[in-house]
A and B are shown apart, each in its own frame.
Chain A
Amino acid sequence: MNDHDHERAARRAEEAGLRFDSERLTLARRLRGLRKNQLAEAIGTTPAAIGRYEAGVHRPSPVTLSRLAMALGVPVEFFHAGHGTGVLDSAHAHFRSLRSTTQIERDQALAYGRIAADIVTALESLVELPAVDIPEHPVHPDEIGGPGPVLAARAARAAMAASPGPVPHVVRLLESRGVIVIVLPPSTERVDAFSVGAHPRPMVMFNPAKGDYWRNRFDGAHELGHLVMHADAEPGSKVVEDQANRFAAEFLMPEEDIADALPRTADWSRLAALKAEWGVSMAALLYRARTLRVMTESVYRNAMSTLSANGWRRQEPGPSRPLESPTMLVKAVELAAAAGTDRDRLATDARVTRADLDLLIPPRPHPVPA
């Protein structure tokens, strides 16, 4: 760096200091999956000092701000005020099995959701995305084994799925209804798929490390269930999760289409055939047979034990298929580029790093003409 570069960097840091927004610092820290003490160590200060910066009690000096930017891998402009509507709050996100992930991991996943929302906001000024059109069918979060989720799934199918039988492409169905679907980066691998009923658009985030084609489809329908039923429910309870599973089962395997085809016993070849036809895992089919009382609890339990014992809970036997992938945003980015706003410009407009933009919306090697 020559003197001129130093001077420019100092000027940028100074300006960033003047326009510093404490929430952007929290967002950047969460994005990188760091605790306050880890960030403090990286820049040679105390966790309490980081806490004061994030609370807006103290404003970091230009030098500190440059160090923070360096440690977090963002430009100092990332901390500028006047952007977005705060940090996504985990109280509104439907995370599963809260105990198996840490708050840091959930915060990181949510931070990615937050910058995805910023990218979408920037994109929407250039490209018209489909209107949000998700039916609402609230179900009381305490309802155990009641009819609510099934009725909600039937209402959603009537509103969204054109014909009876298998749903051809769950992700495409979500996107066509204006839902933002994002595949999380590998650093968040312990977090299951989750959803946020954020405004202006609901978001569903998938974890590629967590699933295969069949499981991802069920996850997608499960998250749709939260969006349809649980705008108001406190996320994370076992009962609310169970309701979303029941919704997904009815949405992907409607009782009237599949009840007669399900086996009463763990007939694996029959299950494999149904799996290919309906695009759902054998585990999901067993769950369906059990919830429709085609299968008794003890037959179902034994079948699930067999799945576990063979390692089929992680990966079922049979051919694999590529995951359903989201394409709406990829295409929107290509359209924006064709209209003169390339990825660098878009990242600047959304105030995210180009690397993070490419992580969340990977460029296609050969853009398909619109």
Chain B
Amino acid sequence: MTEAQDAWDTLLEAGFLHAVRDAHEATTRIVLGSLSRSAGFKERSFGYTSFDVLESQLDKAFGLDGDSGGGPLAGRVVRDNLNGSPGWRLGNYRILLKRHEFGAVDAIRWDKSSPTKQAVSRQEFAEDPQLALDLGVAPAPAGPVTLVVAHSATDAPIETELFIGRPRYNADAGPPWHWRRPITAETLGPDPRQVTERTMPLWSDDDDVVPLRLRARADGTAAEAAR
């Protein structure tokens, strides 16, 4: 099985990809509901804000924010940042985020990205033909494989783009991905996450009640009326 297929299957079956999609849609709604171009916000504001909100929404979706009560992925996904870049880990896969210009997911230049993203895009990729030379060296045991979720959204029209893939260092101006797949309703299919029933809060009435009494009626029949 290829890495792409294995990563996709692993993350899909756990509900991780559905959680990412939901978090991204929630982020889009929140950001567009809060910022508007007519008020003077520009592309950069949308970018920074989306970055922060998506991080929070992902923590929420994975039950890592301490007040969303966990949910189906709680305990399976942990935070796994890389040099301060927000990351999440499930099994052998670590996922980082990258916002790209809408419609230009294949125009990302990792060589012009942050040092962290440069390093990630330089990870050895087992299926890279350049690594297929038999030098008689046993491959080193692999650490986590770091993948990137590339996300983008526009405000007018409102549209979103979401991909997951293995970045490829492209100082050669070649493709920025060893592989990438779109995360859409069609590619995701049914949501495997169990929806848990929320328990109802239980009321207690053992605190002091507010004192009340019936008014005395003119004919003094309050007691009868109260029964």
List residues of chain A with CB under 8 Å of any chain B CB.
97, 99-100, 142, 144-146, 237-239, 242, 245-246, 287, 290-291, 296-298
Chain B residues within an 8 Å CB radius of A142: 25, 29
B1-39 interface with A by 8 A CB criterion: 25, 28-29, 32-33, 36, 38-39
Most buried by B among A97, A99, A237, A238: A238
The answer to whether B29 touches A145 (Cβ under 8 A) is: no
Which chain B residue lies CB-closest to A299? B103
Set B25, B36, B102, B104: member contacting A144, Cβ < 8 A: B25
13 other A-B residue contacts (CB within 8 Å) besides A287-B156, A298-B104: A142-B25, A144-B160, A145-B158, A145-B159, A238-B29, A238-B155, A239-B32, A242-B156, A287-B157, A291-B157, A291-B159, A296-B103, A297-B104
Which chain A residue lies CB-closest to B28? A144
Q: Is B55 an interface residue (CB 8 A)?
A: no
The answer to whether B160 touches A145 (Cβ under 8 A) is: yes
Which chain A residue lies CB-closest to B184? A145
Q: Is B101 an interface residue (CB 8 A)?
A: yes
Q: Is B154 an interface residue (CB 8 A)?
A: yes
CA distance A287 to B155 in the complex (A): 12
Chain A residues within an 8 Å CB radius of B155: 238
Chain A residues within an 8 Å CB radius of B154: 297
Which chain B residue lies CB-closest to A304? B156
Shortest C-beta distance, B55 to chain A (Å), equals 20
Set B28, B38, B102: member contacting A297, Cβ < 8 A: B102
The answer to whether A242 touches B104 (Cβ under 8 A) is: no
Chain A residues within an 8 Å CB radius of B101: 297-298
CA distance A297 to B107 in the complex (A): 13
Set A97, A99, A239, A296: member contacting B158, Cβ < 8 A: A239
Shortest C-beta distance, A323 to chain B (Å), equals 23
B60-115 interface with A by 8 A CB criterion: 101-104
Chain B positions 159 through 174: 1 when the CB is less than 8 Å from some CB of chain A, otherwise 0: 1100000000000000
Chain B residues within an 8 Å CB radius of A146: 185
Which chain A residue lies CB-closest to B185? A146
The answer to whether A239 touches B157 (Cβ under 8 A) is: no
CA distance A237 to B25 in the complex (A): 14
Given the known interface contacts A142-B29, A297-B102, A297-B103, the answer about A238 and B158 at a Cβ–Cβ threshold of 8 Å is yes
User: Which are the 3 A-B pairs with shortest beta-carbon distances?
Assistant: A242-B158, A297-B102, A238-B32
Which chain A residue lies CB-closest to B103? A297
Given the known interface contacts A297-B101, A298-B103, the answer about A238 and B157 at a Cβ–Cβ threshold of 8 Å is no
B95-146 interface with A by 8 A CB criterion: 101-104
Chain B residues within an 8 Å CB radius of A242: 156-158
Chain A residues within an 8 Å CB radius of B185: 146
Chain A residues within an 8 Å CB radius of B104: 297-298
The answer to whether A100 touches B38 (Cβ under 8 A) is: yes
CA distance A346 to B59 in the complex (A): 62
Shortest C-beta distance, A95 to chain B (Å), equals 15
CA distance A298 to B102 in the complex (A): 8
CA distance A239 to B160 in the complex (A): 12
Shortest C-beta distance, B109 to chain A (Å), equals 15
Shortest C-beta distance, A286 to chain B (Å), equals 11
CA distance A290 to B158 in the complex (A): 11
Shortest C-beta distance, A251 to chain B (Å), equals 15
CA distance A142 to B22 in the complex (A): 11
Which chain B residue lies CB-closest to A100? B38
Set B33, B36, B103, B157: member contacting A237, Cβ < 8 A: B33
